[in-house]
């Protein structure tokens, strides 16, 4: 435990400053309650998300390299990003910068030209979930839980890019306790399982919630309504990506307008639930920021 | 229904006869299935070279055509089986640009879920390779500006301009680009989310927050729509970024 570091550079990303404010606020609260520290990356720029990389390779690498350079300037070698898209982009840039020397040389030259310090060390990026699991872990959450999420059934939705591809996310197969991918070139000891991620399940179960069986939908693409319409056992979707969150909420709304039954499953961020369990109030974790109203379900269990 | 090997008998060549009897013999079914002699002399090996020389496409030659990528692909499985990553890699390596061009209507459909790259047993960065293929195609004029590229460009332009994106601008600006009429206030020319000719689901979604959401959250987002969030000290970097993207030449094609 504790390989990543308790004090890290925090790259929130554009989404968390606006539409996904709840994720940002609740993550900071949870980190604070668990004795961890997130140091805001000053003056960061957009990571390019899933869009820019399709139209410019060098531009996207450069944008992420600038953010890495800012982290180095603030004295960090580790960046934590809570958004799947941001952590993907930073990890992708890390992959190309460390494996391809020509990319690093060209990027450093361009950074210098743009008035940013070139990279001496290339900072690694961790997803906030991986960081919380490594630095706090289920035991600590269990210990600090004041208001267990008793009886609440959750479907843990991880999305695509938290575990994939293993070159960037550096995941490997170890969910059953057995290490099955010894030859993965980029594997990282702290990373989640690739096809059966379980960090979020474990953290929320430690806080008292019950995870429903949600495989294989937990890592299915959010780009379609398929991932929603055949799931009716759960009372809550728990997400860790603002884009997936928006997509789930938007399609939920559209499906309900079309009269599809059994899609009334509100989506919340995992940090919001953890925050509640750690004794924070509903308004502190900004439950009212969510488009799909989670309050009725939570009230039923006396949690909000 | 006979199963035809793709590529050997083109679908449009098949003649279907529901009921045909010749000299007392029932000969109904698919006709014109003869496999024509093929001599491929129209190929371009420079296409594959350009891909290999790109940092994103270096791994393309590790592919041994096992089609694990295609088997994993949600676009292939849930949308259209014409979308076949293995086949695209095959065609790109052979330089069969005319065949790639025939698939221009589906080849951009990738949703970047990275199942292909993740599961490839040979370590091909499939998703990256497919993007280079599409980009090289648009550089050579083999594919017109496809729908997802329009959004990608719109998004990237916003990043270049401000250093950051803003969700409201993206959503409503994009709707406007799609041909919906977005009502704007007369002074600041900013969109009014729940009015105008927007689709009904979006209007009701935009009105919903007013009923029960946090007021400070609404104010925050409205403020961002009025004053776009910016990265400080962006100008010098922006010029370099713009130049790099221009030199790369994919945005402009």
Pairing state of beta strands A78-81 and A37-40? unpaired
- Distance to chain A for B65, nearest Cα, Å: 19
Q: Is the Cβ–Cβ distance between A166 and B118 less than 8 Å? A: yes
Tokens standing for A161?
Answer: 């890019």
CB contact under 8 A, B244 and A110: yes
B2 falls in which pLDDT band (50, 70, 90)? Answer: very low
- CATH 1.20.1050.140 domain position(s) in chain A: 7-129
Q: Number of A to B CB contacts under 8 A, please give it.
A: 160
Q: Percentage of residues in chain B with pLDDT exceeding 90?
A: 45
3-state secondary structure of B59: helix
Instruction: Give contacts of A166 with chain B, Cβ < 8 Å.
Output: 118
- Per DSSP, the residues of B163-232 read SS--HHHHHHHHHHHTTPPPPB-TTT--B-TTSTT--HHHHHHHHHHHHHS-HHHHHHHHHHHHS----T
8-state DSSP, A191 = P
> How far apart, in whole angstroms, are the C-alpha atoms of residue A175 and residue A193?
6
Residue with tokens 């603030």: A74
What integer pLDDT is reported at residue B138 of this predicted model? 92
Instruction: Give contacts of B166 with chain A, Cβ < 8 Å.
Output: 14, 18
Top pLDDT among A242 and A146 is at A146
Residue of B nearest to A254 (CA): B201
How many angstroms separate the Cα of B55 from the Cα of each of A50, B51, B131? 18, 8, 12
Q: Is the Cβ–Cβ distance between A278 and A144 less than 8 Å? A: yes
- Distance to chain B for A75, nearest Cα, Å: 20
Instruction: Give contacts of B209 with chain A, Cβ < 8 Å.
Output: 291
Query: In chain A, what's the furthest Cα-to-Cα distance?
Result: 58
What is the average per-residue pLDDT within B143-170? 88
B188 falls in which pLDDT band (50, 70, 90)? Answer: confident
CB contact under 8 A, A14 and B151: no
What integer pLDDT is reported at residue A257 of this predicted model? 58
CB contact under 8 A, A56 and B167: no
Interface of B with A in 146-205 (CB under 8 A): 148-149, 151-153, 155-156, 159, 163-168, 200-201, 204-205
- Structure pTM? 0.88
A233 falls in which pLDDT band (50, 70, 90)? Answer: very low
CA A219 to chain centre: 13
Residue B61 has pLDDT above 90, yes or no: yes
Read off the pLDDT of residues B95-138 as tens digits, 9 standing for 90 and up: 999 989 999 999 988 888 899 999 999 999 999 999 999 999 99
Is B74 part of the contact surface with chain A (CB cutoff 8 Å)? Answer: yes
Residue A261 has pLDDT above 60, yes or no: no
A230 falls in which pLDDT band (50, 70, 90)? Answer: very low
Tokens standing for B190?
Answer: 């900013």
A18, A221, A223: residue with CB nearest B221: A18
Residue B3 has pLDDT above 50, yes or no: no
What integer pLDDT is reported at residue A237 of this predicted model? 59
> How far apart, in whole angstroms, are the C-alpha atoms of residue A193 and residue A4?
17
What integer pLDDT is reported at residue A229 of this predicted model? 29
A3 falls in which pLDDT band (50, 70, 90)? Answer: confident
What element of type H or E holds A295? helix A295-300
Instruction: Give contacts of A67 with chain B, Cβ < 8 Å.
Output: none
CB contact under 8 A, A53 and B163: no
Top pLDDT among B211 and B167 is at B167
Interface of B with A in 41-60 (CB under 8 A): 54-56, 58
Read off the pLDDT of residues A76-123 as tens digits, 9 standing for 90 and up: 999 999 988 899 999 999 999 999 999 999 999 999 999 999 999 999
CA B19 to chain centre: 42
- Distance to chain B for A257, nearest Cα, Å: 8
CB contact under 8 A, B156 and A17: no
Fold of the CATH domain A144-162+197-300: Rossmann fold (3.40.50)
Top pLDDT among A292 and A189 is at A189
The per-type count for chain B, helices as H runs and strands as E runs, is 12, 4
3-state secondary structure of A151: coil
Sign of CA dihedral B85, B86, B88, B89: positive
CB contact under 8 A, A102 and B55: yes
What integer pLDDT is reported at residue B169 of this predicted model? 81
Interface of B with A in 103-142 (CB under 8 A): 111-115, 117-118, 123, 125, 127, 131, 134-135
Q: Which of the residues B127, B129, B156, B157 would you substitute to probe the A interface, choosing the one with the greatest number of A C-beta atoms within 10 Å? A: B156
Mean residue pLDDT of chain A comes to 84
Instruction: Give contacts of A269 with chain B, Cβ < 8 Å.
Output: none
Contacts of B167 (CB under 8 A, 6+ apart): A14, A15, A18, A19, B221, B224
Could you give the count of Cα atoms lying within 13 Å of A154 in the half-sphere of its Cβ? 32
CB contact under 8 A, A114 and B237: yes
Contacts of B176 (CB under 8 A, 6+ apart): B182, B191
Top pLDDT among B202 and A198 is at A198
**What are the sequence ranges of the domains in chain B?**
1-38, 45-139, 159-248
Is B80 part of the contact surface with chain A (CB cutoff 8 Å)? Answer: no
Q: Give the phi and the psi of residue B82 in degrees, each rounded to 5.
A: -70, -25
What integer pLDDT is reported at residue A225 of this predicted model? 31
- CATH 3.40.50.11810 domain position(s) in chain A: 144-162+197-300
Name beta bridge partners: B25.
B22
B35 falls in which pLDDT band (50, 70, 90)? Answer: confident
CA distance between the termini of chain B: 42
Fold of the CATH domain A7-129: Glutathione S-transferase Yfyf (Class Pi); Chain A, domain 2 (1.20.1050)
Tokens standing for B122?
Answer: 């040979």
Q: In this prediction, does ipTM exceed 0.85?
A: yes
Residue of A nearest to B134 (CA): A54
A55, A66, A194: residue with CB nearest B237: A66
Neighbours of A161 (CB within 10 A): 28
CB contact under 8 A, B167 and A113: no
What integer pLDDT is reported at residue A168 of this predicted model? 93
What integer pLDDT is reported at residue A250 of this predicted model? 63
CB contact under 8 A, B113 and A221: yes
Interface of B with A in 2-41 (CB under 8 A): none
What is the average per-residue pLDDT within B70-89? 90
What integer pLDDT is reported at residue A238 of this predicted model? 61
Q: Which of the residues A12, A18, A67, A118 would you substitute to probe the B interface, choosing the one with the greatest number of B C-beta atoms within 10 Å? A: A18
Residue of A nearest to B236 (CA): A114
Neighbours of A71 (CB within 10 A): 26
What is the average per-residue pLDDT within A19-38? 92
What element of type H or E holds A239? strand A236-239
């Amino acid at each position: 435990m504790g390989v990543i570091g308790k004090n890290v550079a925090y790259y929130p990303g554009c989404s968390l400053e606006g539409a996904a404010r709840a994720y940002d606020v609740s993550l900071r609260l949870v980190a604070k309650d668990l004795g961890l520290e997130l140091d805001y990356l000053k003056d960061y720029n957009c990571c390019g998300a899933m869009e820019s990389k399709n139209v410019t390779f060098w531009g996207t690498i450069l944008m992420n390299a600038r953010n890495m350079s800012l982290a180095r300037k603030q004295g960090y070698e580790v960046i934590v990003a809570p958004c799947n898209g941001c952590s993907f982009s930073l990890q992708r840039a890390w992959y190309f910068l460390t494996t391809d020397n020509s990319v690093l040389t060209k990027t450093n030259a361009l950074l210098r030209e743009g008035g940013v310090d070139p990279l001496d060390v290339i900072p690694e990026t961790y997803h906030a979930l991986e960081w919380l699991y490594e630095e706090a872990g289920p035991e600590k959450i269990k210990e600090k839980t004041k208001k267990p999420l008793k009886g609440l059934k959750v479907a843990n939705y991880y999305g695509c890019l938290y575990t994939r591809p293993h070159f960037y996310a550096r995941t490997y197969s170890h969910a059953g306790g057995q290490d099955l991918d010894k030859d993965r070139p980029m594997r990282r000891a702290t990373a989640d399982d690739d096809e059966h991620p379980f960090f979020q399940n474990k953290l929320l179960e430690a806080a008292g919630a019950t995870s429903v069986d949600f495989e294989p939908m937990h890592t299915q693409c959010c780009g379609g309504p398929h991932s929603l319409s055949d799931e009716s056992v759960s009372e809550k979707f728990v997400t860790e990506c603002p884009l997936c969150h928006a997509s789930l909420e938007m399609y939920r709304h559209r499906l309900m307008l079309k009269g599809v039954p059994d899609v009334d499953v509100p989506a919340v961020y995992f940090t919001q639930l953890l925050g509640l369990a750690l004794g924070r109030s509903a308004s502190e974790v900004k439950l009212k920021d969510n488009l799909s109203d989670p309050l009725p379900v939570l009230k039923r269990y006396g949690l909000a | 229904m006979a199963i035809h090997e793709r590529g050997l008998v083109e679908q449009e060549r098949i003649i279907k006869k529901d009921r045909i009897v010749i000299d007392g013999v029932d000969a109904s079914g698919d006709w014109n299935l003869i496999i024509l002699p093929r001599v491929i002399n129209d190929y371009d090996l420079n296409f594959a070279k350009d891909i290999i020389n790109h940092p994103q496409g270096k791994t393309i030659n590790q592919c041994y055509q096992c089609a694990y990528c295609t088997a994993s692909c949600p676009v292939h499985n849930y949308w259209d089986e014409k979308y076949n990553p293995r086949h695209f890699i095959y065609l790109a390596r052979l330089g069969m640009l005319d065949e790639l061009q025939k698939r221009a209507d589906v080849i951009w459909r990738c949703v970047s879920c990275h199942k292909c790259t993740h599961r490839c047993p040979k370590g091909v960065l499939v998703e990256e390779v497919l993007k280079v293929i599409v980009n090289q195609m648009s550089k050579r004029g083999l594919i017109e500006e496809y729908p997802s590229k329009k959004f990608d460009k719109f998004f990237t332009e916003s990043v270049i301009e401000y250093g950051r994106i803003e969700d409201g601008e993206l959503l409503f600006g994009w709707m406007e680009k799609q041909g919906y009429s977005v009502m704007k206030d007369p002074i600041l020319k900013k969109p009014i989310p729940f009015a105008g000719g927007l689709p009904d689901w979006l209007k009701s979604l935009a009105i919903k927050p007013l009923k029960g959401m946090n007021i400070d959250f609404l104010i925050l987002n409205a403020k961002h729509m009025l004053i776009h969030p910016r990265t400080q000290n962006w100008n010098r970097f922006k010029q370099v970024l713009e130049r790099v993207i221009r030199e790369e030449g994919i945005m402009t094609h």
